[in-house]
């Protein structure tokens, strides 16, 4: 769209203004690319924050779960809780 407008403007204004038109087009293109990069960086930061919250939450509930599992189910219960926490960590890291 911008390229078409720039090309049309060059046709109307002639080659005397070509440098300004191309420079303006490249500036707009640079701004768009920078905006996309910023948006991508923000999305990565949101994903990492979400992963961190999920892992910290899983660790927080693991303490009472491990205690309950150890008292009522013994080693098998502790293994199940640890395996579940590992599954949560993998799911969070792949899903986000």
Beta strands in 18-94 (DSSP E): none
Contact 84, 58 (CB under 8 A): no
pLDDT tens digits for range 47-87 = 888 888 888 888 888 889 999 999 999 999 999 999 998 88
Main-chain phi, psi angles of 63, to 5 degrees: -60, -55
Q: What is the domain range of residue 30?
A: 2-95
Residue pair 34/52 in contact by the 8 Å Cβ criterion: no
Residue-wise pLDDT for 24-50, tens only, equals 878 888 888 898 888 889 988 988 888
**Residue 69 CB neighbours (<10 A):** 20
pTM above 0.85, yes or no: no
- What are the tokens at 71? 């008292």
């Amino acid at each position: 769209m911008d390229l078409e407008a720039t090309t049309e403007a060059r046709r109307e204004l002639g080659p005397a203004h070509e440098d300004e038109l191309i420079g303006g087009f490249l500036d707009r293109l640079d701004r768009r690319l920078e905006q996309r990069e910023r948006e991508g960086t923000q999305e990565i930061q949101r994903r990492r924050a979400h992963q961190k919250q999920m892992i910290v939450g899983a660790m927080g509930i693991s303490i009472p779960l491990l205690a309950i599992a150890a008292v009522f189910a013994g080693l098998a219960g502790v293994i199940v809780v640890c395996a579940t926490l590992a599954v949560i960590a993998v799911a969070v890291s792949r899903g986000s």
